[in-house]
Amino acid sequence: MTKLSLKDLTKHYGSVKALEGFTHVFEAGQVHALIGKNGSGKSTFVKMMSGAIQPTYGTIEVGEDNVQFTTPRQAQDVGIATVYQELSLVPELSVAENIFLGRLPRKRCGLIDWRKLRLLTQELFEEIGGLEISPSARIADLSVGQQQMIEIVKAMSFRPKVLQLDEPTSALAQAEVQHLFALVRRLRALGVTIIYITHRLAELGMIADTVTAIRDGHFVGSISIDEASPPVILDLMFGDLPPLERPATQVERHAPVLSVSHLALSPFFDDVSFDLYPGEVLGIAGMLGSGRTELLHAIFGARKFDGGSVSVGGKTVTAPNIQTMKSLGIGYTSEDRKHAGLVQMLSSHANLCLAGQARIAPSGWTTKGRERPFVDYQIAGLHIKVGDPMLPVASLSGGNQQKIVVGNWMNNAPDILLFDEPARGVDVQAKRQIYQLIWEKARDGVSSIVVSTELEDLTECCDRILVLRDGQITATFTNDGLDPKDIYAACMATPQTVETTA
């Protein structure tokens, strides 16, 4: 049984106090949910405990041992393993190679023992209750959800005393979430101290024993899960938080701004048809692997579809590609912001200007001064917490990075926005700000398509919701007090196209 004790843990970046005087004991054999709004200090905490950065001062004890480490490998050596919110796998390597990267088993002659590597990987899969992925499969060929599971298996391979899980379920389907929870419970029974960071507050009662809150870099408090009602949790995270109400809208369904007709892309979907109208927020629901992301790719011109057509403003787009669709006023925010939404080595300033260069600098010649008003506008409008916009975007929290992705496309002044998991890994407040932005743009006539695995997000945000199942649109809901359970039932039901007003 190994507890984690922290005293006066502090991290300063110049005058910015990312974490200040954090003192707490995370008891052994428990799952401790760590919550806080974006920019509260959670990411700093995770990075310090993983060895990625060092505290300005303060002490860390694992069990009874006072430990210090300056690299992630040293943190692993003292028994602290971390699964980050953003995937860190090597796409071109196999599953087994990624899990044991840097620790590949070798024969006496020094060559890699591939057979043993596959056996060790399969044993890990069986330990977590079975994972139907080949150890030889290439990471790039797996879904985001499957890749997240591999990240967790990789952390398990270190036999950790302390395990940090940073938004581990953000890309997982319900069945995969249950696999993860089963694994976490087994680790808890073995006495592993688990720090569980999530913005999915509904998960806390299913997995956590305690809830610990950070606000603005300070420890706020820690309570047992029995005391952690939704109002108490939100008060710990934000203090007073006004209720969120989706504004009443009246979408005129006369001339669609976007029409998808009999679209097909094997093996993901076939014969998908729908219209999007001016100022409408249209949700697309479906289980992981249903083809929602691939549908957005096809509409945006990122994938060549097999059949059907896409029309913008009543005109069919011949052989659509990204450049063409962008010029027609369509923007796309990826579900994988680290690899497809941002350039991590570039600054926040640069990332906010990538999509809108033609608008920012029509002549093709740009300067930082010309870009700055566009950058400042998005930072202020999206409440992006960034100390210096010229620092790499990788230095921001996950939620603030997501806002940069959205702000980048907003600087292109789109007419249609495709949002793939816009609220993934962001807190309640940041999610509200993104929704309010979508609604504000809808009032200006901008239309949006929102894809989310969180059905509650769709019912909170969207005017109308389509269900994509078995490659087809099987249900359409008009959102008038819609219950997420009805959407979930449609996602799981036998395909039959229905029109529903709730």
Look up the CATH number of the domain holding residue 177: 3.40.50.300
CB 105 within 8 A of CB 120: yes
Do 292 and 170 share a domain, yes or no?
A: no
Residues 51 and 132 in one domain: yes
- Annotate 121-184 with three-state secondary structure: HHHHHHHCCCCCCCCCCEHHHCCHHHHHHHHHHHHHCCCCCEEEEECCCCCCCHHHHHHHHHHH
Of 174, 207, 238, the residue at which a domain comes to its end is 238
**β-pairing, 210-215 with 31-35?**
parallel
Whether 250 is covered by a domain: the verdict is no
The pTM for the full model equals 0.61
Same domain (yes/no): 223, 318? no
* Nearest residue to 47 (alpha-carbon basis) of 15, 95, 88: 88
Residue 119 lies in a domain: yes
Show the CA angle centred on residue 412, arms to residues 410 and 416, nearest 5°.
70
Cα(81)–Cα(126) distance, integer angstroms: 20
- Choose among 351, 443, 424: nearest CA to 390: 351
Residues 345 and 280 in one domain: yes
Task: Return the pLDDT at 30.
Answer: 95
Burial class (CB in 10 A: 0-12, 13-18, 19+), 114: middle
Q: Are residues 234 and 262 in the same domain?
A: no
Q: How far, in Å, CA of 380 to CA of 204, rounded?
A: 32
CB atoms within 10 A of CB 496: 9
Stated as kind and residue range, the H or E segment containing 186 is: helix 174-189
Q: Are 425 and 85 in contact (CB under 8 A)?
A: yes
Same domain as 282, residue 228? no
Query: Which two three-digit tokens encode residue 489?
Result: 């039932």
| Angle made by CA atoms 480, 486, 487, in degrees to the nearest 5 | 90
Longest CA span, the chain: 73
What is the DSSP annotation of 380-397? Answer: HHTT---S-TTSBGGGS-
pLDDT at site 106: 94
Structure token pair of residue 353? 């200007």
Q: Which of 280, 243, 244 is nearest to 479 (CA)?
A: 280
> CA-to-CA distance for 134 and 396, rounded, in angstroms?
34
Are residue 262 and residue 231 in the same domain, yes or no? Answer: no
In a domain, 166, yes or no: yes
Beta bridge partners of 83: 165
95 shares its domain with 130: yes
Residue 243 lies in a domain: no
The pLDDT tens digits along the chain (502 residues) read 789 999 999 999 877 788 999 999 999 989 999 998 767 888 889 999 999 999 999 999 998 889 999 999 899 999 999 988 778 899 999 999 999 998 999 999 999 999 999 999 999 888 766 778 899 999 999 877 788 888 888 988 888 899 999 888 876 767 778 878 887 888 888 788 999 998 788 889 999 999 999 988 899 999 999 999 888 887 888 776 565 667 777 777 889 999 999 999 998 998 999 999 999 999 999 876 788 999 999 999 999 999 999 999 999 998 899 999 999 999 999 888 778 889 989 999 999 999 888 899 988 898 999 999 999 999 998 888 888 899 999 888 777 888 899 899 999 889 999 999 887 767 677 778 888 888 888 888 899 999 987 788 888 889 999 999 888 899 999 988 888 878 878 886 644 444 555 4
Spatial separation of the C-alpha atoms in residues 443 and 227, rounded to whole Å: 40
Which pLDDT value is given to residue 9? 95
Cα(347)–Cα(442) distance, integer angstroms: 29
Note whether residue 305 is domain-resident.
yes
What integer pLDDT is reported at residue 129 of this predicted model?
67
Sheet hosting strand 464-469, strand order edge to edge: 330-333, 416-420, 447-451, 281-285, 464-469, 472-478, 498-501
Number of CB atoms found within 10 A of residue 109's CB: 6
249 lies in a domain? no
Total tally of structural domains belonging to the chain: 2
pLDDT given for residue 497 in this prediction: 45
CA distance 193 to 188: 7
Cα distance between the two ends of the chain: 50
Residues 38, 165 share a domain? yes
Residues 387 and 265 in one domain: yes
Look up the domain containing 204 and give its range.
Answer: 4-238
Bridge-based pairing of strands 416-420 and 330-333 is parallel
Q: Is residue 496 part of a domain?
A: yes
Backbone angle region of 167, left / alpha / beta, with phi > 0 → left and psi within -120 to 50 → alpha:
left
CA distances from 95 to 98, 101, 123 (A): 5, 10, 13
Q: How far apart are CA 36 and CA 40, in angstroms?
A: 6
Domain boundary among 187, 205, 238: 238
Burial class (CB in 10 A: 0-12, 13-18, 19+), 315: exposed
204 lies in the same domain as 279: no
| 389, 463: one domain | yes
Contact (Cβ atoms closer than 8 angstroms) between residue 93 and residue 140: no
In a domain, 330, yes or no: yes
